[in-house]
Amino acid sequence: MNFLNKDITSIHQSLVNGDITVEQLTKEAIENSKNNEKNINAFITIDEENAIKRAQEIDKRGINPDNLLSGIPVAMKDNMLTKDVLTSAGSKMLSNFKPIISGTAVNKMLDADTVSIGKTNMDEFAMGSSTETSYYGKTHNPWNLDKVPGGSSGGSAASVAAGDVLAALGSDTGGSIRQPAAFNGIVGMKPTYGRVSRWGLIAFASSFDQIGPLTNNVYDNALVLNHIAGHDEHDLTSSDKEVPDFTSNIDSGVKGMKIGLPKEYLGEGVSDDVREAIKSAADKYREMGADVEEVSLPHSKYGVTAYYIIAPSEASSNLQRFDGIRYGYRSENAKNLDQLYVKSRSEGFGDEVKRRIMLGTYSLSAGFFDAYFKKAAEVRTLITKDFQNVFQNYDLILTPTAPTPAFGLDENKDPLTMYMNDVLTIPVNMAGLPGMSLPAGFSDGLPIGMQLIGKPFDETTMYKAAYAFEKNTDFHKQTPKIGGDK
């Protein structure tokens, strides 16, 4: 069985009715995923044994008719700690690492009785926009196997798009949930910073990182966020704000909603097809009764630059812990302790990770701190203030998710060109805002994503607007050819 065009509610109904057991569902999901792996490579680990054991346990207890997630097959990005299951973060450095605990978001998915069938492929330590920097091979886009799935949560997005699972968790530091969601024609939510605990998420840039769901549709996405959101005493940056039911009143429409369309996000570098799709989306919102007006976010254009100073700085600090001593890869060529550090890191990290560690080390080094790191942090304030100004008069902001649809595998883009791919998503992380991507069109058979940006902790309004758009369009109903006929 594949889950193309399926939704959690209908699969849940089959489980409640007894049309299928959780064990059968899990086995079929694993079989379908294994078939797809030859073409897609969405997973680093398919955890067949644990998944089936878990499914049997849930069957024994019985499906809870009030819990839509009970028995639903899901997948986790490989930078989220999973007890006793390889957690590599896409790196050779952690190619032998089996955590002794699971992270909070993973635990909450387990508490909700979902069945995780495996760990998904990703750019090494989540550093990349194409999943090409993984130590475990590249992931292919289910819509066109010669294209990238985006990144860094490329495996999570591809696993949902290919119908392997009904939901996957990803993480987003500069666009790593939203851009792959866009490239794969699915729904991806990066919640407000602090909405979901980061405990047990292998840190990349701690002031940006946030976990969120990738799903086939908007309702399923809200459902998963319901379960993973909330305060966690283990993550001091997690918010103690109340978590609303994101699915309640999701169908209340957009009448009277005020949506800002920032002109800077439709300019140079954005492809014609993408621009047209976003303009059509704006018209669709007007048709549905929302007010859509042009707004300005003048400092967003400095987002990429400020990000590539701040995020690598945080990363260079976070990744100091990988030293070959307590866990992870240890070089066999070291004769003394210093060599052990240097050789383990030099052999264990890939090029992109080294680039970012060096960028960060440079930006933080004496003599450059004020000129680079502090300056970038000040620009970050201005980017945030732009959003605050717009949100005084608007409920939501509408932009493209990425400047283009999925680009080709092995195009060997230089790093700077690759970094520019996140120009439309990075400002959202800079300001800690919630941002989501949902299907908004096609270009040469490849999906186009649109981004909705909300006020802090107002994912509810985003889901309502996304739900209304989805209900009045059919982009999300189209599925890739891979994995069977539509």
Partner 1 sequence: MSEKISKNTVSHVASLAKLELTDKQLPYFTDQLGNIMGIFDSLNEVDTTDVEPTFSVTDQINVMREDIADNWGERDQLLQNAPDVADGLIRTPTIIDESGD
Decide whether 383 or 406 has the Cβ nearer to partner 1: 383
* 149 contact partners, CB below 8 Å, separation of at least 6: 40, 42, 130, 131, 139, 140, 141, 142, 155, 157, 158, 161, 180, 183, 184, 406
- Identify the residue among 18, 60, 272, 335 touching partner 1 (CB under 8 A): 335
CB of 361 to partner 1, least distance (A): 4
Contact 191, 230 (CB under 8 A): no
CB of 104 to partner 1, least distance (A): 15
Contact 80, 314 (CB under 8 A): no
User: What 3-state DSSP class applies to 118?
Assistant: strand
Contact 434, 462 (CB under 8 A): yes
Annotated catalytic, 156?
no
Decide whether 267 or 445 has the Cβ nearer to partner 1: 267
CB of 51 to partner 1, least distance (A): 22
* 244 contact partners, CB below 8 Å, separation of at least 6: 460
- Identify the residue among 119, 190, 330, 455 touching partner 1 (CB under 8 A): 330
For the chain, counts of helices (H) and of strands (E): 15, 11
- Identify the residue among 308, 387, 407, 463 touching partner 1 (CB under 8 A): 308
What angle separates helix 459-471 from helix 272-287, to the nearest 10 degrees? 90
- Identify the residue among 368, 404, 471, 484 touching partner 1 (CB under 8 A): 368
Sheet holding 396-400, edge to edge: 43-46, 115-120, 73-77, 167-172, 210-215, 187-190, 435-443, 446-454, 396-400, 258-262, 291-295
DSSP β-ladder status, 167-172 and 73-77: parallel
Looking at residues 418 to 447 of the shown chain, list those that interact with partner 1 (rule: CB under 8 A): 419, 430-432
CB of 350 to partner 1, least distance (A): 12
Decide whether 14 or 384 has the Cβ nearer to partner 1: 384
Binding pattern for the stretch 276-305 against partner 1, x by CB under 8 A and - elsewhere: -----------------------x--x-xx
Q: Can you tell me the distance from the alpha carbon of 454 to that of 436, in angstroms, rounded to the nearest whole number?
A: 9
CB of 45 to partner 1, least distance (A): 16
Binding pattern for the stretch 188-217 against partner 1, x by CB under 8 A and - elsewhere: -----xx------------x----------
Looking at residues 44 to 83 of the shown chain, list those that interact with partner 1 (rule: CB under 8 A): none
Decide whether 77 or 195 has the Cβ nearer to partner 1: 195
Binding pattern for the stretch 337-366 against partner 1, x by CB under 8 A and - elsewhere: xxxxxxx-xx--x----xx-xxx-xx--x-
Binding pattern for the stretch 15-44 against partner 1, x by CB under 8 A and - elsewhere: ------------------------------
Stretch that binds partner 1, among 96-104, 167-175, 247-255, 398-406 (CB under 8 A): 96-104
* 209 contact partners, CB below 8 Å, separation of at least 6: 126, 171, 172, 173, 198, 201, 203
Annotated catalytic, 77?
yes
Closest CA to 171 of 98, 78, 91, 94: 78
Buried b / exposed e over 163-177, threshold 16 CB at 10 Å, is bbbbbbbbbbbbbbb
Stretch that binds partner 1, among 69-77, 281-289, 315-323, 476-484 (CB under 8 A): 315-323
- Identify the residue among 10, 60, 326, 444 touching partner 1 (CB under 8 A): 326
Decide whether 146 or 411 has the Cβ nearer to partner 1: 411
CB of 235 to partner 1, least distance (A): 9
Beta bridge partner(s), residue 441: 448
Contact 74, 168 (CB under 8 A): yes
Annotated catalytic, 300?
no
Give me the catalytic one of 70, 102, 130, 176: 176
Q: Can you tell me the distance from the alpha carbon of 91 to that of 371, in angstroms, rounded to the nearest whole number?
A: 32
Looking at residues 123 to 182 of the shown chain, list those that interact with partner 1 (rule: CB under 8 A): none
Looking at residues 381 to 410 of the shown chain, list those that interact with partner 1 (rule: CB under 8 A): 381-382, 384
How many residues line the site for partner 1 (CB under 8 A)? 72
Decide whether 327 or 442 has the Cβ nearer to partner 1: 327
Stretch that binds partner 1, among 16-24, 93-101, 119-127, 182-190 (CB under 8 A): 93-101
Question: If binding is defined by CB under 8 A, does position 336 make contact with partner 1?
Answer: yes
CB of 119 to partner 1, least distance (A): 16
For residue 143, give both structure tokens. 């819509």
CB of 396 to partner 1, least distance (A): 19
CB of 415 to partner 1, least distance (A): 5
Residue the block writes with tokens 């910073």? 193
Decide whether 255 or 374 has the Cβ nearer to partner 1: 374
Contact 59, 23 (CB under 8 A): yes
Closest CA to 420 of 180, 127, 129, 122: 129
Give me the catalytic one of 27, 77, 343, 464: 77
Taking residue 411's Cβ as centre, other Cβ atoms within 10 Å add up to 12
Positions annotated as catalytic residues are 77, 152, 176
